[in-house]
Structure 1
Amino acid sequence: MAEHIGIVGAGYVGLTSAACFARLGHRVTCVDADESKVDELGRGEVAIAEPGLAELVGQGLADRTLSFTTAQAELYGADLVFLCLPTPPAEDGRPDLGVLEQVVPQLGRLLRPGCVVVTKSTVPVGTAARLPHLLGRDDLPVVANPEFLREGHAVEDFLHPDRVVVGTDPADSPAARRVARLYEPTGAPVVATDSASAELAKYASNAFLAVKLSYVNVLAELCERFGADVREVSRTMGLDARIGPEFLAPGPGWGGSCLPKDTSALLHAAEAAGVDFAILRDAVRVNARQRARVVRAVRQAVTGSPAGSLAGARIGLLGLAFKAGTGDLRDSPALAVAAELARAGAELTAHDPAVGCVPGMSAVQVVDDPYLVAKDAAALVVLTEWPEFRDLDWARLAASADRAIVVDTRNLLDPDALADAGFAHVGVGTRSRRQP
C-alpha cells in the first residue's frame, strides 16, 4: 500500500531516502530549510555525487511522486515522517542535537494524529524515548529506523539492504510494522526490536568496523617488522567466515562522515554509563597515529631517513577524498596526511577524480590532470583507492618525476607493473619494491 511519506532534511540520508521511497512506489514530500537547495532539487539538480541518485530524483519528479519544499505545513497530511536531520559532533565529541530539538516541537504542532515519526539519522541512545516529550504529544507513534548507507553505494544499500532495523517500545508495535512494510519490496530481513537496541545497533556496527580497520593497520605495522605481507595475512583471515574479507585493507586511517563521529559518540555514551570501552578508545588512538606513520614513510622514501626533512620537497598526492567513489572530504585521512606534509614544509600538488578544490587548505594545489602531480616530484603518494589510478601511464609519470618512487598507502597498485615503468614502490605492511 502506497503511503504519503514526509522526509525532513534533504542532506545525504534524507535525499537518498526520499528518492528511494519514491522509487518503491510511495508519495514523498521532502522538506528542507535551505531554499536554494530546494530550488535546485526541484529542477532535478543533485549536488551529491552518488551513483544512481540523480536519476532517481529525476524519475520521481517526472512521475510526480517526489516533491521538495521549504514549507513544513505540507507535511500535515503525511502518514509517516522521517527525521533525516544533521547530528554533527559537538566540540567534546558528543552528538549535537540542536537542529533536531528545534524542528521536532514544530512538527508536534503540525502533524495530524496517528502520523508515525521515524528517526532515520544516527541519534544517541534514548532519543526515540525522548521524542514524545519533544513533540509535546502522545498520539504520534515514534519509531527508530537507523540508516546503514555507505557513501558511493547509498542507493544500492537502500534498495538492497542487508537488514532493516525497526525499534519501538514495545518492540514489534503496529507503528513498527507500518515502517517495516515500507521496505517489503527490498526483501530484506527485518530486525524488530526496542528503540534503544535499534539506536545502539547503528553505533555498534560502525564502531566495530572502526576497530577492524585499526586492527589491520596495526597488523600491517607488525608485518613490516617481521617481513610478512599484510595482503596475504588479511586474505587468509578473510577466508574465515567468522571474520570475512571486508574492512581488512590497511590504509592511512579511517575517516568520513560516520566512523569518526559515531565512535566518538559511543565512547561518550559508554563513559556516561560508567563502562570502560577501552578497545574502541585504543582503535581511535591507532587511527590518530596512522597519519604520522604515513609521513614517516614519505620521509624515508624521499630522504632515506624516517626523520629526514621534507622542507621544499615537491610531493604529488593521488587522492583527497576519504574513500573512492565520493568527493567527501569530511575527516578525510588523505587531508590529514596532506596537512602533516604541509607542516613539514613539503610543496603539495594533488589530484582526485571527484575533488576540485580543498576549502581552507591553500597549501594543496589541486589539479585536474593527474599527470601534473608527478612534475618534478620527489615522491608520489597514493592516499585514496580510486581504481583509475591503476590505469595511469606510470612510465609517463616516471619520466616527469624528479625521483620515481610511490608511497602506496592503500596497496592499490601492482608493484611489478610499477617496476616495469621505472618506479620504486613502498606499500603498507609489504616489502618495498625498487626499480629494476
Structure 2
Amino acid sequence: MNVAIIGTGYVGLPTGVGLAELGHQVVCIDREQSKIDALQAGKITLYEDGLEELFRKNTKEKRLHFTTSMKDGISNAELVIIAVGTPPHPITKEADMKYIHAAATELAEHLTRYTIIATKSTVPVGTGDDIEILIAKKNPQAEFDVVSLPEFLREGYAVHDFFNPDRIIVGANSDKAKEKIKELYKAFDNEIPMLFVSRRSSETIKYASNAFLAMKIHYINEMANFCEKADANIYEVAQGMGLDSRIGPKFLTPGPGYGGSCFPKDTLAMAYMARQNDVEMSLITATIKGNDNRKKEMAERIVNAVKYIDNPKIAVLGLAFKNGTDDCRESPAIEIVSELVNRKYSVFAYDPKAMKNAETLIGSKITYCQSAYEAVENADVLAILTEWEEFKKLDLNKIASLMKNKTIIDCRNMLDKQKALSLDFNYQGIGI
C-alpha cells in the first residue's frame, strides 16, 4: 500500500519504519524543515533501540521517504495516518487537539480519491467524528473513511512492539475501511489478533489501557513503600502476585513513578473526559495524585541523604524517563533533578542517550558528565533514576574509591544491594 504518515516523532517515525519494513511505500510528513532535512540526509532524529538499522535499510531500498509538503506526501496515499502530538492543555489538562485539527484540515484539500484517514495519535473519544466533519466541510467532494488505529508501542521497545503486538485494534465504521486495514497488516499472516470495534470504542480502549497500566505502576510503588516498613521484599511480592493469571507479571516493577509522553497525559485526559461525562473515576484520580507525590518522595530521599552535609555534590545516573529511549518528556528523573536544583543543590548527571534532550529542559543548571564514573567522583550521594542496563555493570569498588561519602539512593534497584553493603555503602533501594 501507499501510506502517508503525518508526524515524525516517537509514534510516527517507528510506525513509518515498521510499515516500510512490511513492504509498504511510506512517506513521512513533518512541517519542521530541519527534521526532514536530517531524515532525508540519512540521520535519524530520535533514539529507539533497533530503529536506526531498519531506518537505514528502508531508506536505502527506497520504501521510506520524507517531505514537508502535505500535497506531495499524500498525493498517492491510500492511507493517511495522523501521528501528531496531543499534549495536555495547560489549564484543563484535556488533550490539546490543535495539531490533530490542523492536520485534518490541511490534508482535506489534497484528497483526490478514496482515502482512509487513520488516527494513530491518542485522541479523545469522538475525535473521529470531528475529523469527518472537518474534512467534509473543507472538501465536500472528498471520498474517505476515518478510522481509529491506536498505537501500543512502548518507548524503548517500539521496534519490538511493532513487529510483536499483543493485538491490533481497529475502530472502523465501514466494511471498505476494514478490508484496507486488513491489507495493511497482511504481512502478519493472521498471526496477530485483530479486533474490529466501533470507532468510539477504539478511542476509549487506548485511554482505558494506559490508565489501567498507570494504576498498576502506582499500586506496586505503594506496595514497595509497605515492604520497606514491613521488612518484606517487593520483588518476591511482585513475583507471587504476577503468577496469578488474573494479574500477570508485567508493570509490577517499583520505581520513581511513571512518566513519558503517554501515561501522564492520558490519565489526565481520561480524568477530564470522565468529568465532562459526569462519571467518577476515583482510581485514576488517586493514581495521578499518587504519582506526583511519588516523585517528590524520591527527591526527598536524596535530600535527606545529604541534609547534614555542607555544599553536597549529588551524582545522578539517568535522565530519560525509561531505558531504551532518549525521551525526557514527563521524566521522573527530570522532575526529581529539577526539585534538587530548586533547592540549590549541585547536581552532576550522566545518561547514555538523553543528555541532549535533558539539556533542553534543564539547561545549564546541572553539570552534564561523559560517564557514570565522572559523575560520581567526589559525590556525597549517588541517585540512580533510570534503569539503563549499563548501570547494572558499574564497578562498585571503583565507585567506592571515587565517592566522597558512600551513599546510594537506588530508585531503580539496579545495583547489588549486598555487594554495596559489604563495601560499607549506605544503600537505599526501593521496596527491598
TM-score by length of 2: 0.94
Which is worse superposed, 276-285 or 132-141? 132-141
The residue that corresponds to 1:433 in the other structure is: none
Distance 1:49 1:61 in 2: 17
The residue that corresponds to 1:33 in the other structure is: 31
What residue ranges of structure 1 are gaps of 5+ in the alignment?
Answer: 303-307, 431-436
The residue that corresponds to 1:69 in the other structure is: 67
Asked whether the equivalents of residues 164 and 180 of structure 1 are also in contact (C-alpha less than 8 Å), the reply is no
Structure 1 residues 309 and 292: CA distance shift in structure 2, 3 A: farther
The residue that corresponds to 1:122 in the other structure is: 122
Aligned to 1:230, which of 206, 230, 234?
234
Letter in 2 for 1:183: Y
Aligned to 1:59, which of 57, 74, 85?
57
Structure 1 residues 310 and 195: CA distance shift in structure 2, 3 A: farther
**What is the SS of the residue equivalent to 1:312?**
coil
**What is the SS of the residue equivalent to 1:155?**
helix
Aligned to 1:272, which of 247, 257, 276?
276
Residue deviations 1:170-203, cap 9 Å, x none? 5xx2202211321122221101000011011111
Letter in 2 for 1:215: Y
Asked whether the equivalents of residues 26 and 65 of structure 2 are also in contact (C-alpha less than 8 Å), the reply is yes
Distance 1:382 1:8 in 2: 36
Distance 2:342 2:101 in 1: 40
Residue deviations 1:183-226, cap 9 Å, x none? 12222110100001101111111111110011111111111221
Structure 1 residues 296 and 34: CA distance shift in structure 2, 3 A: closer
Distance 2:360 2:61 in 1: 37
Distance 2:397 2:180 in 1: 59
Asked whether the equivalents of residues 26 and 63 of structure 2 are also in contact (C-alpha less than 8 Å), the reply is yes
Per-residue deviation, 1:33: 1.0
**What is the SS of the residue equivalent to 2:239?**
helix
Residue deviations 1:257-305, cap 9 Å, x none? 1110111111100110000111000011111111222133224433xxx
Distance 2:146 2:166 in 1: 23
Distance 1:244 1:315 in 2: 37
Residue deviations 1:290-339, cap 9 Å, x none? 1222133224433xxxxx46662111111111111111111110111112
- Answer yes or no: is 1:261 the counterpart of 2:265: yes
Per-residue deviation, 1:363: 2.6
The residue that corresponds to 1:434 in the other structure is: none
The residue that corresponds to 2:350 in the other structure is: 351
Residue deviations 1:237-275, cap 9 Å, x none? 111111111111111111011110111111100110000
Residue deviations 1:391-414, cap 9 Å, x none? 111111111111112111112211
The residue that corresponds to 1:321 in the other structure is: 320
Residue deviations 1:313-370, cap 9 Å, x none? 1111111111111111111101111122222332111111112342242332110121
Which is worse superposed, 51-60 or 279-288? 51-60
Per-residue deviation, 1:162: 0.8
Aligned to 2:19, which of 18, 21, 40?
21
Distance 1:68 1:34 in 2: 11
Identity of aligned residues (%): 37
Letter in 1 for 2:124: P
Distance 1:394 1:387 in 2: 15
What residue ranges of structure 2 are gaps of 5+ in the alignment?
Answer: none
Asked whether the equivalents of residues 149 and 202 of structure 2 are also in contact (C-alpha less than 8 Å), the reply is yes
Asked whether the equivalents of residues 77 and 111 of structure 1 are also in contact (C-alpha less than 8 Å), the reply is no
Per-residue deviation, 1:19: 1.2
Distance 1:360 1:237 in 2: 38
Which is worse superposed, 54-63 or 264-273? 54-63
- Answer yes or no: is 1:98 the counterpart of 2:90: no
Distance 2:309 2:261 in 1: 31
Letter in 1 for 2:172: T
Asked whether the equivalents of residues 311 and 346 of structure 1 are also in contact (C-alpha less than 8 Å), the reply is no
Structure 1 residues 241 and 311: CA distance shift in structure 2, 3 A: farther
**What is the SS of the residue equivalent to 1:316?**
strand
The residue that corresponds to 2:421 in the other structure is: 419
Asked whether the equivalents of residues 310 and 346 of structure 1 are also in contact (C-alpha less than 8 Å), the reply is no
- Calculate the aligned-residue CA RMSD, in Å: 1.6
1:11-410 alignment runs, 5 A limit: 11-74=9-72, 75-91=74-90, 92-136=92-136, 137=140, 139-169=143-173, 173-186=175-188, 187-302=191-306, 308=307, 312-357=311-356, 358-361=359-362, 362-410=364-412
Distance 1:31 1:343 in 2: 39
Asked whether the equivalents of residues 122 and 206 of structure 2 are also in contact (C-alpha less than 8 Å), the reply is yes
Q: How many residues align?
A: 421
Asked whether the equivalents of residues 167 and 192 of structure 1 are also in contact (C-alpha less than 8 Å), the reply is yes
Asked whether the equivalents of residues 93 and 264 of structure 1 are also in contact (C-alpha less than 8 Å), the reply is yes
Distance 1:402 1:125 in 2: 54
Asked whether the equivalents of residues 395 and 422 of structure 1 are also in contact (C-alpha less than 8 Å), the reply is no
Asked whether the equivalents of residues 256 and 332 of structure 2 are also in contact (C-alpha less than 8 Å), the reply is yes
